[in-house]
Each structure stands twice: as C-alpha cells, then as structure tokens.
Amino acid sequence: MSSGQESVFSEYDSDSSQTSKLLRKFKETPFVPIGMAGFAMVVGYGLYRLKHRGNMKMSLHLIHMRVAAQGFVVGAITCGVLYSMLREHVMKPKE
C-alpha cells in the first residue's frame, strides 16, 4: 500500500465509535437523515390511516402511501444534491 492510501484509512480508523462516524456522516450530508425520518413518518402515517381508510381498497391505499414515501425521499435527495452543489461550487473559498 502506498503512504497516501494508509493516511486515508487511518483517518477512518481514528474514530473508534460507530456513533461518532454516524454523526460525522450526518454533518457531511444532512439531508440523508431528513429523508430517512420523512420516510419513517410517511410509513407511520400510512399505517395509522390504514385503520381509518373507509371504503378505499387496500391496494389503492398502499399505492398512495408508496408514492408519498418515494416522493419525500426523492425530494430529500434532490435537496441534498442542490445543497452539496451550492456548498462546493458557489460558497467554495477562492484558491
């Protein structure tokens, strides 16, 4: 292994706990946990509404919930990409 690769691996090995690694990743990409939380909220709401769906068919209810969950995740991914582009290209310090 070259010395350049060893320094990259040693940087990741220096954080010993999984929590610190997870927090570092969340700081680098803040929209990932937002997307995961939104997905969980849509699923929870869908399960709650499943009980009170009235005469709506089960398949139609599940399709609506799937589209809502996917829409939230795609929206969070889009916001994350725009945020990273803004951070890297617009607010990039002059070199």
Q: What is the DSSP string of 11-70?
A: HHHH--SHHHHHHHHHHH-THHHHHHHHHHHHHHHHHHHHHT-TT--HHHHHHHHHHHHH
Q: Is the pLDDT of residue 16 over 80?
A: no
Percent of the chain residues topping a pLDDT of 90:
1
Provide the mean pLDDT of the chain: 78
Per-residue model confidence (pLDDT) at position 95: 61
Q: Is residue 76 part of a domain?
A: yes
Q: Provide the number of structural domains found in the chain.
A: 1
d(CA 62, CA 68): 10
Q: Is residue 90 part of a domain?
A: yes
Q: Is residue 78 part of a domain?
A: yes
Residue for token pair 């940087």: 11
Q: Which domain holds residue 76?
A: 68-94
Q: Is residue 85 part of a domain?
A: yes
Condensed to tens digits (0 to 9), the pLDDT of residues 32-76 reads: 788 788 888 888 888 888 888 778 888 888 898 889 888 888 888
The whole-model pTM stands at 0.59
Per-residue model confidence (pLDDT) at position 37: 84
Q: Is residue 86 part of a domain?
A: yes
